[in-house]
Structure 1
Amino acid sequence: MLIKLLIFAVCGWALFKMFTNDSKKKSDKDAAKKAKDIERKVATGEMVKDPVCGAYVSLDQEIRVRDGENIHRFCSYECRDKYLAQLEQGGREIAAEAKEEA
């Protein structure tokens, strides 16, 4: 009886490891696919890098600031505010209408 219980426990553990390992492989594949999708969007110009934190954001991102001919896009309002503060510390200031556009 004890041997049957032991065999049952070992089989259960083996099945558990098979299924959890399979889900780990799936999540690794999903992460790799997402990374390749971001790389493709960056290469085609559909995504740009946030100048403050380095996160990639879509071109249709609503949080943006116009600096002359350049339009900078940000992942969050915090990053945008940090960027504007850096410009002010450097002696530059963005025109009021450009801030409102953001």
Structure 2
Amino acid sequence: MLIKLLIFAICGWALFKLITNDSRKKAEKKEKKMEKQVATGDMVKDPVCGAYVSLDQEIRIRDGEQIHRFCSYECRDKYLTQLEKNGREIPAESKEEA
């Protein structure tokens, strides 16, 4: 009885290690993919929260020649509010939305 319990515990521990190692490898692979996209310029950093967003992100505004991309409308609105507090305003036609 004790040997069966010991074998069951060892099998459970081995299965747990296999599952957690697999999820760790997937997370590392996803992180490497994102780093590659950032390095090649396919992703840019959200100026408000620091999240990385794709160049084809639909939430963006144009500030002169520069285009800012945002992860959410909330971040975009925070950015615009911050500009207004600093005495700047982006014209309505420069606010690009899809």
Pairwise TM-score range, normalised by the shorter structure: over 0.9
Q: Using the alignment, how far apart are the partners of 1:90 and 1:9 within structure 2?
A: 68
| 3-state SS of 2:62 partner | strand
1:74 matched to which residue of 2?
Answer: 70
Where structure 2 has 5 or more consecutive residues not aligned to the other structure, the ranges are: none
Identify the structure with the greater helix proportion: 1
| 3-state SS of 2:57 partner | coil
Are 1:63 and 2:59 counterparts? yes
Aligned length: 97
TM-score by length of 2: 0.96
Q: Which of 63, 79, 83 in structure 2 is aligned with 1:83?
A: 79
Runs of 4+ in 1 over 2 A off after TM superposition: none
Are 1:21 and 2:17 counterparts? yes
Query: Which amino acid is 1:61 matched to?
Result: Q
Root-mean-square deviation (Å): 0.7
Q: Using the alignment, how far apart are the partners of 1:68 and 1:80 within structure 2?
A: 16
1:71-102 deviation per Cα after TM superposition (whole angstroms, max 9, x unaligned): 00000010000000000000000001012x23
TM-score by length of 1: 0.93
Where structure 1 has 5 or more consecutive residues not aligned to the other structure, the ranges are: none
Query: Which amino acid is 1:68 matched to?
Result: G
Please state how far the C-alpha of 1:44 moved relative to its aligned partner.
Answer: 0.3
- Identity of aligned pairs, percent? 62
Which one has the largest radius of gyration? 1
